[in-house]
Homo-oligomer: A and B are copies of this chain.
């Protein structure tokens, strides 16, 4: 290392300190990493896939349309994501008998097993946050985030 370069001080982020978007984006780096290490890589599930598994688990026979609206995912993307989940045998689609345009979604037995396993794995991974957040702080953080999400 060049002798003319002393150890550099941390970068000044003061101009970004007041913007909530930046704070959220930086926190998301941490949680994305926890997800990736604890769930994504070991179980081969992407964040959207994980989310869909949980939602279909709790909302048997919901339709693609309703998931698109909730997650603000465009319909064409939802088609592709569900194609992938179906190919891997985790999700099944079935036409609504009354409205034959709509597709109802449900998990296979294997899909349910994966939904359980991945949620448990994520809970373990996010326990790493206990070192920086008390359980009260964590609850408060979730409430405040929910307000922002409307």
Contacts and interface: CB of A to CB of B under 8 A. Distances in A.
Contacts of A132: 147-148, 150
B55 A16 contact: yes
| Copy count, this protein chain | 2
Interface in A22-37: 22-32, 34-35
B141 A144 contact: yes
Contacts of A148: 27, 30-31, 129, 132-133, 141
Interface of A: 2, 4-5, 8, 11-32, 34-35, 47, 51, 54-55, 57-59, 62, 66-67, 70, 72, 98-99, 115, 119, 122-123, 126, 129, 132-133, 137-138, 140-142, 144-150
